[in-house]
Amino acid sequence: MTITKDICEKLSDNVIVKMSLTDIDYFLCLYNRYEIKLLRYIKRISGASDEQAKDILQESFIKIWQNLNNFNQRLKLSSWIYRIVHNETISCWRNNMSFGKDHQVQLDDNFIDNFFLDLELDEYKHQNEIHTHLILEQLPIKYKTVLVLRYMEEMSYNEISNVLKIPEGTVAARINRAKSNFIKIASINQFSF
Amino acid sequence: MKKTKSIIDKIKEENIKQKPKWYFVLSKILNLLTFIICMLIGSLSFSVILFSIQQTDFDLISHMSHSRIELFLSLLPFFWITVLLIFLFGAIFIFKKSERGYKYPLYQLVVLTTAISFLFGTLFFIGGGSHWLENVFAEKVNFYENIHEKKMIMWMRPEEGFLSGTIEKVSEDEMQLTDFSNKKWNVNYKDAYIHKIVFIKKGEKVKLIGNITQGNKFLAKEIRPWNGKKKQNRGRNRSNKNIGD
């Protein structure tokens, strides 16, 4: 059976999960719904290339497929999916020294063009956003993650807590520390917002 | 759409199966059981620690001429404290890894698991479970130094005024006592403070505080029961002697 885009759009996340358990084609709906967001998230937290991000996403979706029976309906599906993708990204990031670790951010035009082209942010390509992303690249991954989830993925503390599997209080504390680090790096680099 | 197709194709081609529901249910049940077992062992350990505190007269350490810290450390039930800590950490770790465990801060889990093990440990202790467990370990585990052995460290120091053993013979003011190294002692207890639950009769195990007067002669100032010192404050002088055994 072919699942069209129209059919997918009418279904809620939880219904798609239920249908996917019996019909693998419904799993496409899930993939289509989250693909762009998740690719963007992977690249933001790991600095992975387009190809690497796609590989990570594919591995993540295989894990999502394998563990679909473990999805708890009390949790938002997006949080659960982000959690799996986050873990897979961190795992790849740790194993793969070619991106993320010791990554030097260059302030050349090519880098900036590629960065924002990937993120479909061309129209917002002004100084503040460039500085924001350059600072994020220099932050430790745990701080970068919470800032990305909070201010770019626009998640609540509860959702971040569910993605990272840490208490909400820890999320709040980590965001505060991340902000302090962000400000420090901004002042060192003499970026103003 | 090309990439999504390839994911579905990959799943189909490689015949990647979903893990069945029972696998996750079983895993959760096993985690729960492990948590309960950890809490149970933690509670039992705490009950034996309570038993040990009850049996060991820590209040006398200040009267010892021996190194107090060394003696205090030698009397602490390190084995059970270690077991308690290991299983409490185990329980916290398992709870943290559970479905909603990450929602709770570490300090809350530490307080919660400690409170539960203390509560159940106290109930085990009241129910006599700690005594039973201590005996089982003393009999079955070779390296285990039981509470009685630790107590003997404390109460086999006649030169420092601490003596213990079994009453062999009782007369008006004196009794004959065999200590745990089988040495015989003549104990004068004329002016001794005798705790309420002590019965001065043949076969009774007692602990004495006093001093050596000469050779194997000991002057007792206080007599305590070998097993704990409950209702200590309700003691009196010589009023419960069963003379003539």
pLDDT tens digit sequence for A83-125: 999 999 999 888 775 454 444 444 444 444 444 445 555 555 5
Q: How far is CA B163 from the centre of its chain?
A: 22
Q: Return the higher-pLDDT residue of A173 and A133.
A: A173
SS3 B163: strand
A118 membership: H or E segment, kind and range: helix A109-118
List the one residue out of B213, B235, B231, B234 whose CA is nearest residue B222.
B235
Put simply, the answer to whether A21 touches B18 (Cβ < 8 Å) is: yes
Judge contact between B173 and B189, C-beta under 8 A: yes
Residue position matching structure tokens 């070998």: B226
Strands B162-170 and B174-179: what pairing?
A: antiparallel
Q: Return the higher-pLDDT residue of B147 and B31.
A: B31
CA atoms lying within 13 Å on the CB side of residue A139:
29
Tens of pLDDT along B88-146? 999 999 999 998 899 999 999 999 999 999 999 999 999 888 888 877 877 777 666 67
User: Which chain B residue shows the shortest CA-CA distance from A80?
Assistant: B99
Task: Give the per-residue pLDDT at A113.
Answer: 47
Cα–Cα distance between B85 and B42 in angstroms, integer? Answer: 8
Cα–Cα distance between B98 and B32 in angstroms, integer? Answer: 8
Q: What is the dihedral of CA A25, A31, A33, A34, to 10 degrees?
A: 160
Please state, as a whole number, how many other Cβ atoms lie within 10 Å of the Cβ of residue B189.
26
Strands B236-237 and B205-214: what pairing?
A: unpaired
3-state secondary structure B70-99: HHHHHHCCHHHHHHHHHHHHHHHHHHHHCC
Residue A38 has pLDDT above 50, yes or no: yes
Put simply, the answer to whether A27 touches B16 (Cβ < 8 Å) is: no
Judge contact between A55 and B7, C-beta under 8 A: no
State percent of chain B over pLDDT 70. 81
What are phi and psi for residue B175, nearest 5 degrees?
-140, 155
Please state, as a whole number, how many other Cβ atoms lie within 10 Å of the Cβ of residue B38.
22
Task: Give the per-residue pLDDT at A163.
Answer: 96
Task: Give the per-residue pLDDT at B70.
Answer: 66
Is the CB of B2 inside 8 Å of chain A's CB atoms? Answer: no
Give Rg (Cα) of chain A: 18
Q: Return the higher-pLDDT residue of B27 and A73.
A: B27
Cα–Cα distance between A143 and A167 in angstroms, integer? Answer: 15
> Residues with Cβ < 8 Å from A69, sequence gap 6 or more?
A21, B18, B19, B20, B21, B23, B24
Put simply, the answer to whether B102 touches A161 (Cβ < 8 Å) is: yes
Chain A contact probe: residue of B1, B2, B3, B27 with most A CBs at under 10 A? B3
User: Which chain A residue shows the shortest CA-CA distance from B12?
Assistant: A24
> Residues with Cβ < 8 Å from B155, sequence gap 6 or more?
B57, B162, B163, B164, B207
Out of B20-34, B74-88, B176-190, the most confident range is: B20-34
Cα–Cα distance between A167 and A173 in angstroms, integer? Answer: 10
pTM equals 0.72
Judge contact between B42 and B35, C-beta under 8 A: no
Q: Which residues of chain B lie closer than 8 angstroms to A170, CB-CB? A: 105
Q: What is the DSSP-derived secondary structure letter of residue B61?
A: G
Beta-bridge mates of residue B211: B219
Is the CB of A172 inside 8 Å of chain B's CB atoms? Answer: no
